[in-house]
């Protein structure tokens, strides 16, 4: 009986001693010899939107003298562009307000690894016309932009010029265009970049000198400016259903510098836009 009890006690001690040992026989809490961390995947593009945010489970692989170990549960994951999203342990969750370009970091024991993440953000905004500003928008305005192009109905995009900046803290920009024809009453403003696909539908409202003036709503401005902070130029296109209209290449957004992109065909030369104090 004593031998049996001794054997069982020995087996129990052995089991407890191995409870925290990894699959390669190493204690995952022991970071001795850790020389590098590899974040997987090294380069990733995710789709996110105002209604469905991006999610992804990252891995952190540590390099040791005897091989590699999964350190995903040990490291701290974080971003250098916190507006893009956040981490819950190894699980990334995007924002419902913006996309953007960012580095993903994994850090533990003084060792840091990194990867690249691009979150491409999409949103659709519908701005109902004010009193006297025209008929209500269709339930699905996008259906009005699937017809055959009609050159005779092309409006003219007047402002902003190439090179205009959209600092996130200003939250103010007007888009000016000439309707081109009396029948043009429904307009689509499209903001495209590697990290943005934002579409806003609106009416002309009350014409000013036979033109339309639309002050970007807070949602459109925030989506575009924040998603492209320090990023690539944004292309602004105004369309009327069903005709695609004049395009405009804009400068990088949000950085308070005088930047300009090459003029799009038919657009005025680059000009700087400095918001008033």
Percent of the chain residues topping a pLDDT of 90: 41
CB-facing half-sphere around the CA of 94: CA atoms within 13 A: 27
- What average pLDDT does this structure show over 66-95? 97
Instruction: Please state, in angstroms and as integers, the Cα–Cα distance from residue 257 to each residue in 230, 253, 267, following that order.
Output: 11, 9, 21
In this prediction, residue 131 carries a pLDDT of 63
Better pLDDT: 168 or 54: 54
**Tens digit of pLDDT for each residue in 86-116?**
999 999 999 999 999 999 999 998 999 999 9
Judge whether residue 36 has pLDDT over 90.
yes
The backbone torsions φ and ψ at residue 3, rounded to the nearest 5 degrees and listed phi first, read -65, -40
- 137-249 and 31-120 share a CATH fold: yes
Instruction: Among 30-34, 36-40, 163-167, name the one with the lowest average pLDDT.
Output: 163-167
CATH domain 31-120 topology: Immunoglobulin-like (2.60.40)
In this prediction, residue 151 carries a pLDDT of 66
The backbone torsions φ and ψ at residue 203, rounded to the nearest 5 degrees and listed phi first, read -100, 170
- Rounded CA separation 48/44 (Å): 13
**Tens digit of pLDDT for each residue in 5-17?**
433 334 443 333 3
Percent of the chain residues topping a pLDDT of 70: 73
- Rounded CA separation 262/273 (Å): 15
Better pLDDT: 58 or 227: 58
In this prediction, residue 223 carries a pLDDT of 93
Judge whether residue 53 has pLDDT over 80.
yes
Name the token pair of 22: 């990894």
**Tens digit of pLDDT for each residue in 230-266?**
788 888 888 876 433 333 333 222 222 222 222 223 3
Q: What is the CATH number of domain 137-249?
A: 2.60.40
Determine contact, residues 104/79, Cβ cutoff 8 Å: yes
**Exposed (0-12), middle (13-18) or buried (19+): which is 122, by Cβ within 10 Å?**
middle
- What average pLDDT does this structure show over 184-189? 85
For residue 130, what pLDDT band results from cuts at 50, 70 and 90?
confident
Ranked by mean pLDDT, the top range of 112-126, 181-195, 232-246 is 112-126
Placement of tokens 């943005």 in the chain = 196
For all residues of the chain together, what is the average pLDDT?
77
For residue 47, what pLDDT band results from cuts at 50, 70 and 90?
very high
User: In this structure, how many other beta carbons lie within 10 angstroms of the beta carbon of residue 222?
Assistant: 18
In this prediction, residue 152 carries a pLDDT of 66
Instruction: Please state, in angstroms and as integers, the Cα–Cα distance from residue 75 to each residue in 61, 66, 71, 229, following that order.
Output: 10, 19, 6, 28
3-state secondary structure of 181: coil
User: In this structure, how many other beta carbons lie within 10 angstroms of the beta carbon of residue 255?
Assistant: 16
Spell out the domain ranges in the chain.
31-120, 137-249
- What average pLDDT does this structure show over 189-196? 90
- What average pLDDT does this structure show over 178-194? 83
């Amino acid at each position: 009986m004593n031998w049996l009890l001794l054997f069982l006690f020995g087996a129990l001690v052995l089991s407890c001693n191995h409870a925290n040992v990894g699959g390669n026989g190493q204690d995952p809490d022991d970071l001795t010899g850790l020389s590098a961390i590899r974040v997987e995947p090294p380069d990733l593009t995710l789709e996110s939107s105002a209604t469905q945010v991006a999610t992804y489970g990252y891995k952190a692989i540590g390099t040791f003298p005897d091989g590699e170990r999964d350190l995903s549960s040990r490291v701290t994951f974080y971003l250098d562009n916190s507006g893009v999203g956040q981490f819950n342990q190894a699980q990334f969750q995007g924002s419902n307000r913006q996309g953007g370009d960012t580095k993903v970091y994994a850090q533990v024991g003084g060792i840091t690894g990194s990867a690249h993440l691009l979150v491409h953000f999409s949103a659709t905004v519908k701005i109902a016309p004010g009193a006297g500003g025209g008929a209500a928008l269709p339930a699905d305005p996008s259906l009005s932009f699937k017809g055959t192009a009609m050159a005779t109905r092309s409006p003219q995009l007047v402002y902003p010029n190439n090179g205009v900046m959209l600092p996130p803290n200003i939250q103010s920009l007007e888009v000016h265009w000439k309707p081109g024809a009396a029948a043009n009453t429904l307009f689509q403003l499209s903001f495209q970049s590697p990290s943005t696909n934002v579409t806003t539908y609106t009416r002309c409202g009350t014409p000013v000198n036979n033109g339309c003036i639309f002050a970007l709503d807070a949602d459109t401005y925030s989506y575009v400016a924040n998603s492209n902070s320090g990023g690539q130029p944004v292309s602004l296109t105004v369309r009327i259903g069903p005709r695609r209209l004049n395009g405009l290449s804009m400068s990088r957004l949000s950085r308070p510098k005088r930047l300009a992109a090459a003029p799009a065909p038919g657009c005025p030369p680059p000009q700087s836009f400095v918001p008033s104090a």
